[in-house]
Structure 1
Amino acid sequence: MKVKLFSIILILFIFYGCSFLKTEWRIDELYIQKIEGSSKVIYNFSAWGGLDSNPRGFIVLDSTETFQVDVEKILPIYQLSDIPNKSYFEGITHDCYGTCGETYYDSAPIFKPMKLEKMKIEDIEFTNRIYQYKGYSEHDRGLENYVFEKFKETKDSLYFYNLDDVESMDGQHLNELKVRKGEIYIQLAKNKDIKKIIADDVRLNSETKAVEQIRHIVLTPKSKIKNDKLSERGIFREVKISN
């Protein structure tokens, strides 16, 4: 009788214990981009909770699936380096390669990729280029912040005109700024107008794939822009979260 009772308790513990161990995530950022010509979508998210503390990154799903935080599905990249499509997409990341910590200042930067990883994600060919940390970081220009008067969209790029720098002390003015699509983020106001456009603009050499430039740019319109004035190609849109 005791053995039977112990078995029942053990089964109940395993069943309910699994539920107790399930992590409850609080998502604080979520963006979605439709992958052109495909039923797939790519999410970029940030969440808090559980042993992983603050998981963030990209997850590819079918558009019929509901987004859930799954740390095993996070792509091993920091940024996209091109516009995803139905057959191929790519991203970049970095590893130390002897340039982390105290060795950083004594090491020479290498801008070409150190390693290439290829795999299939949701039946789409995926390439991950891994760069030396110093080579990667020396082309990272940090945050730029502008207000702009008007813009133009092409298939692969966004052009902004009459920009004023609101980040630096000297208040730089630009007549024109071009950013590549792929990792463009649209933040929406309550009335669905565009509140901000955030561009993570990665430039790789077309032949060597060396890192040429990494820019993080926040762009705020001086006047109202409707959400539908921008296409879906290469553009993430904010998903409102109800945790």
Structure 2
Amino acid sequence: MNFKIFCLISSLLILCSCGFGKTEWRIDQLYTQKIEGTSKVIYYFSAWGGLDSNPHGFIILDSTKQFQVEVESILPIYQLSQIPNKSNIEGITHECYGTCGDPYYNSIPIFKPMKVNISSENEIKLTTRTYQYKGYSEHDRALERYVFEKFKETKDSLFFYNLNDVESMNGIHLDELKVKKGETYLLFNKQDNIEKIIVDDVTLNLKTNSIEKIRHIALTPKNKIRNKEFSERGIFRELKNKNRQN
């Protein structure tokens, strides 16, 4: 019996050394943004693998390296709160702090960060602010969807004009909408024309760093807009060549 077990373990070790057991990832979302002033880029990705695992998040790599799913390299943040730069990347995340499950309803929301962690990721300082789950969940939150006529870009913001709300029943019209760059995602077609713009906009209080608002905004252009009309600063672009990776 012991000999049979030894043979089985030996066979498994041989198979693993030949590649058996490696996870094959199917990437369904992949975006890249150049980090200003460096040769590095930051990726946002979502992938699916064995046992229905779904790793997703941000990874920093040198622009000379090809993207691969490396779960251990995912940054410990859910969302960016500033435009990434060569000196600092800032993001937010949340933990329970006694407010997950049933305790959620009887607990008091705390909107200030519970802790701030500073680490180094690929030679760039990463500032991670962690919030109480209930405080994170109960701040001002918005889900918006518009079509727009034209836009203007500044160093840190995007301005959209003549917008029609296609999310609510009221069909609200906006003359102007301002969003902060950082987590802006461009989706474009084979002709390099913009099909959709997704913005995840996190607003923190300048003094307390309390979360004031998180907005998820989808914008569709009424007219043709070329991909190259947008800069690279604070903007993610979709990578079309998604594939399987081992």
Q: Which residue of 2 aligns with 1:37?
A: 37
Q: Which residue of 2 aligns with 1:211?
A: 211
| Aligned 8 A contact 1:28 1:241 in 2 | no
Q: Which residue of 2 aligns with 1:90?
A: 90
Q: Do structure 1's residue 182 and structure 2's residue 177 form an aligned pair?
A: no
Matched AA of 2:111 = F
| Aligned 8 A contact 2:204 2:212 in 1 | yes
Structure 1 residues without counterparts, runs of 5 or longer = none
Q: CA deviation at 1:205?
A: 0.8
Q: Give the TM-score normalised by structure 2.
A: 0.92
Q: Do structure 1's residue 191 and structure 2's residue 171 form an aligned pair?
A: no
| Aligned 8 A contact 1:27 1:241 in 2 | no
Deviations 1:103-147 (A, max 9, x none): 222222111100111110000000100001111111252421000
Q: Which residue of 2 aligns with 1:27?
A: 27
Matched AA of 2:185 = Y
Distance 1:94 1:123 in 2: 24
Larger displacement relative to structure 2 (41-50 or 12-21): 12-21
Q: CA deviation at 1:242?
A: 4.0
State the number of aligned residues.
Answer: 237
Q: CA deviation at 1:100?
A: 1.5
User: Identical aligned pairs, as a percentage?
Assistant: 68
| Aligned 8 A contact 2:149 2:162 in 1 | yes
| Aligned 8 A contact 2:140 2:212 in 1 | no
Distance 1:37 1:67 in 2: 20
Matched AA of 1:224 = K
Structure 2 residues without counterparts, runs of 5 or longer = none
Larger displacement relative to structure 2 (172-181 or 135-144): 135-144
Deviations 1:70-128 (A, max 9, x none): 11011111100000001111100011112112222222211110011111000000010
Give the 3-state SS of the residue equivalent to 1:169 in structure 2: coil
Matched AA of 1:14 = L
Q: Which residue of 1 aligns with 2:132?
A: 132
Give the 3-state SS of the residue equivalent to 1:228 in structure 2: helix
Structure 1 residues 167 and 77, CA, compared in 2 at 3 Å: closer, same or farther?
same
| Aligned 8 A contact 1:113 1:131 in 2 | yes
Q: Which residue of 2 aligns with 1:79?
A: 79
Distance 2:79 2:59 in 1: 12
Matches within 5 A, 1:8-157: 10=10, 13-18=12-17, 19-51=19-51, 53-139=53-139, 141-157=141-157
Q: Give the TM-score normalised by structure 1.
A: 0.93
| Aligned 8 A contact 1:187 1:195 in 2 | yes
Distance 1:145 1:175 in 2: 15
Give the 3-state SS of the residue equivalent to 2:135 in structure 1: helix
Distance 2:143 2:14 in 1: 48
Give the 3-state SS of the residue equivalent to 1:20 in structure 2: coil
Matched AA of 1:209 = N
